[in-house]
Structure 1
């Protein structure tokens, strides 16, 4: 009996090479480089489940260098020792929601296992420097980045941004399409973007520029902006301790998952280095983006100084 081998596709994201059983149209194809290359493999595989199909909750389990996530709308994603990501879904076709989960939570977990730092952030390029937006859920990270993208600034990544704490600190390109709600879409000129509903049950759309994005290079970080809601627009640089606290707070991999995997000393050292080398700003904005142009000018000025 001949067993047909699945041809793996090669992609590049977060500074690593992906070898995947599944198509991932949300990221760029891999281009061969000189020297040793870090590779993470994505494979379809039958995985023993802990959740029953009727259960409507998300869980994770971590043991022996392996982290397993389960959710009814996604399936099962298991990440092993920073090298392998296994996916098991009920349907034959891997949908957009599952792919985005792999590219964000799955890869962020694998990168953390490999000693790398990933922030829950969106990022754009402003005059050759990366501006990163962090904040609580619904703060407007993706909306802020998409607003810059509309102003012809290239997207670097949405939702998950890998940060290198070297000198200078740099951000790597990730998924260069934004996840936005319908109310945020109304702030943009939709004719300049491709808009695709992520899932029929969610008010979330995947939004990318119609012009081809050639930004596949890592960039020096010009500033990290913590978005908070307030009555009036304001921007102020955070102290080192506040900067460190915000970076820890907005690390992509959750605290309980990080605690189960170790690497805590290296992780906190990286957070310390980024807080010491990169200016972190508290950016206060009104609930409604009525003064978006003014916000963009303040961010640009702080990023390129």
Structure 2
């Protein structure tokens, strides 16, 4: 018994139904899964995995649901370790929040994820949201990289037959601008993780779910119709907005979408009074891609070299632009129009 999902071109089998897994799309495919997720890991199995010689501990950001201190004044902690075994290399991602814990163990080749968690008292719903956020976010990103799949920290959008990626650091406004595109009948291809693959002579985006994480201010500025979204609350104030049922956004895509351009979102500027788009040379574009490529995992040198070649291929194939815009949500429609206009130029329309 289990539940099938599809995300970034991978078939995922989960052993139990969690409503919190809102970023993954339910799927009817009964074929052999690419990844098996065990949310009900047996204690015997977990103990066997825990006895591996774990090493190379590295800290990483805890999910936003845990962005405050607990009742003892302790901040959440999250870290990753790796271990060698006869079957191959394992990775373990763990987080603690007071007396609540969550552990994810990723098997060799990224084919399995074992999950163990323990909630203290009334925090069970909070911890479940945190488990789901980590599984769909950081842990999934690690798994993609283990499988040799290139992804960038950004959002992917399809509009007017063309597909783009918006790159930017946390707080740059990627999700807000993506929502503005959705209000203009665009399709959201991916939020936070833009997976890129080469299909013959072209580069393409693997669809990763038609949802966004938006803060209340963004929802209010966009005047998003509340009857067309489904939200999941978080302590950070952001909400997960599912766009599949929106009457304004196009339906989510099932197939790969050709990648036409990448836009780097610079910090918004209060003094700016126009939207500016600057083409970047391939070598500068490569440097930008390296800034938005997942660097959490300490990969072997041959793995890093292969990723560098993949990013070089992207920078040499796809136009990369730097985008500057005013720090005012009233400029969102102008920003959307500027990007659509840029996509019509000869340099991008090929």
Instruction: Calculate the TM-score normalised by the size of structure 2.
Output: 0.76
- 1:217-263 deviations in Å (ceiling 9; x for gaps): 21001111100123242101111111111112111x3x241446861
Q: Which has the higher contact order (CA 8 A, sep 6+)?
A: 1
* Compared CA separation, residues 241 and 207, structure 1 to 2 (3 A): same
| Aligned twin of 1:131 | 164
Alignment of 1:184 onto 2:226: no
Instruction: Indicate the SS of the match to 1:217.
Output: coil
For 1:129 and 1:21, the matched residues in 2 are separated by 37
Segments of structure 1 that go 5 or more residues without pairing to the other structure are: 1-6
| Aligned twin of 2:36 | 41
| Aligned twin of 2:331 | 291
Task: Give, in angstroms, the shift of residue 121 of structure 1.
Answer: 0.9
| Aligned twin of 2:194 | 161
For 1:128 and 1:31, the matched residues in 2 are separated by 27
Alignment of 1:19 onto 2:47: no
For 2:152 and 2:257, the matched residues in 1 are separated by 15
8 Å contact kept, 1:178–1:208:
yes
The answer to which of 87-96 and 150-159 deviates more is 87-96
| Aligned twin of 2:231 | 196
8 Å contact kept, 1:40–1:85:
yes
8 Å contact kept, 1:19–1:42:
yes
For 1:137 and 1:175, the matched residues in 2 are separated by 19
8 Å contact kept, 1:60–1:70:
yes
The answer to which of 175-184 and 208-217 deviates more is 208-217
1:256-271 matched pairs, under 5 angstroms? 256-259=296-299, 263-271=303-311
1:1-305 matched pairs, under 5 angstroms? 7-23=1-17, 24-32=21-29, 39-44=34-39, 45=41, 46=43, 47=46, 48=50, 56-64=76-84, 65-72=89-96, 75-81=102-108, 82-91=110-119, 95-166=128-199, 167-191=201-225, 193-199=228-234, 201-209=235-243, 210-211=245-246, 213-229=251-267, 230=269, 231=272, 232-251=274-293, 253=294, 255-259=295-299, 263-304=303-344, 305=349
Instruction: Calculate the TM-score normalised by the size of structure 1.
Output: 0.86
RMSD: 2.7
Segments of structure 2 that go 5 or more residues without pairing to the other structure are: 60-71
Task: Give, in angstroms, the shift of residue 139 of structure 1.
Answer: 0.3
Instruction: Indicate the SS of the match to 1:137.
Output: coil
8 Å contact kept, 1:124–1:145:
yes
Q: Which has the higher helix share?
A: 2
* Compared CA separation, residues 261 and 67, structure 1 to 2 (3 A): farther
- 1:54-76 deviations in Å (ceiling 9; x for gaps): 66222111233222222235722
Report the count of equivalent residues: 293
